[in-house]
């Protein structure tokens, strides 16, 4: 249902907007490059090779630690200079698998800000990735109570945002997408006619970065999550 008069509909990204996420993937990648120890490829070249594997596979396998683990294995099998040993493959798999067991570290001012905003507006959590993995993060974060709805989607693109507007009979002018990813949170929401709030994160995934499109006054950029309380 559309929000009551005076209220706005606020869509929130989860990973790296509400809690830390990509830092754990980055740590695994650094450990992977160390273990690979390629004799001729630089760290940047190995990372570029992994990026390409992820870019290709994401359309098939989606997002999340399980897909990432599969990508690590494929990259290792392509680049390893030594005979593939079962124990080496197992080590690579563990680098990715341990991400799912990392603690949910809620970012500063998130809980307090969501609590305040939930009293004035309608809040919805919009996240992509493996549904069960994301659901567990939400439960462990302690933030679930602030959201009136949660949606798990395969991709956050313009079509996704238009579908949410249509299904919930929203007024795009009173609907905002809030997140750290230009590719998934900001640009497609703006293309769908929504407003957006960009909250940059230092460790945003490389494949989520792109130039933000011109927004005709429908975009705000904040330095910290807590600044949302003044905006809304």
Q: What is the pLDDT of residues 118-127, one digit of tens each?
A: 999 999 999 9
Co-location of 197 and 122 in the same domain: yes
Q: Is the pTM of this model over 0.85?
A: yes
Residue 4 lies in a domain: no
Co-location of 172 and 203 in the same domain: yes
Residue 195 lies in a domain: yes
Helix 22-36 vs helix 43-61: crossing angle, to nearest 10: 130
Co-location of 60 and 156 in the same domain: no
Co-location of 42 and 114 in the same domain: no
Residue 1 lies in a domain: no
Co-location of 190 and 202 in the same domain: yes
Query: Between residues 107 and 1, which one has the greater pLDDT?
Result: 107
Helix H or strand E encompassing 11: strand 9-12
Co-location of 64 and 116 in the same domain: no
> How many separate domains does the chain show?
2
pLDDT at 21: 96
Q: How far is CA 165 from the centre of its chain?
A: 21
Q: Look up residue 129 and give its two tokens.
A: 């990735």
| Alpha carbon distance 143, 138 (integer Å) | 7
| Alpha carbon distance 177, 219 (integer Å) | 10
Residue 176 lies in a domain: yes
- CATH number of the domain bearing residue 30: 1.10.150.240
pLDDT at 105: 97
Co-location of 97 and 183 in the same domain: no
Phi, psi values for residue 209, rounded to 5°: -95, 135
- Mean pLDDT score of the chain, rounded to an integer? 95
Residue 221 lies in a domain: yes
Beta strands in 98-143 (DSSP E): 122-128
Query: What average pLDDT score do residues 85-97 get?
Result: 97
Co-location of 67 and 81 in the same domain: yes
Residues spanned by the domain of 172:
9-20+104-231
Q: Look up residue 158 and give its two tokens.
A: 């313009």
């Amino acid at each position: 249902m559309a929000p009551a008069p005076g209220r706005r509909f606020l869509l929130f990204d989860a990973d790296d907007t509400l809690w830390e996420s990509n830092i754990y993937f980055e740590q695994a990648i650094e450990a992977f490059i160390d273990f690979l120890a390629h004799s001729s490829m630089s760290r940047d070249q190995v990372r570029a090779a992994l990026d390409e594997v992820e870019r290709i596979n994401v359309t098939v396998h989606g997002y999340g630690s399980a897909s990432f683990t599969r990508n690590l294995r494929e990259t290792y099998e392509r680049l390893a200079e030594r005979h593939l040993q079962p124990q080496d493959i197992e080590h690579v798999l563990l680098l990715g698998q341990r991400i799912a067991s990392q603690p949910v570290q809620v970012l500063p001012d998130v809980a307090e800000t969501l609590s305040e905003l939930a009293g004035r507006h309608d809040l919805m959590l919009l996240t992509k990735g493996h549904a069960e993995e994301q659901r567990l993060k939400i439960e462990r974060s302690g933030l679930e109570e602030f959201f009136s709805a949660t949606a798990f989607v395969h991709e956050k693109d313009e079509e996704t945002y238009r579908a949410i507007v249509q299904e919930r009979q929203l007024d795009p002018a009173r609907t905002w997408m809030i997140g750290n990813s230009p590719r998934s949170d900001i640009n497609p929401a703006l293309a769908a006619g929504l407003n957006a709030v960009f909250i940059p994160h230092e460790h945003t995934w490389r494949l989520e970065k792109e130039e933000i499109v011109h927004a005709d006054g429908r975009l705000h950029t904040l330095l910290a999550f807590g600044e949302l309380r003044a905006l809304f």
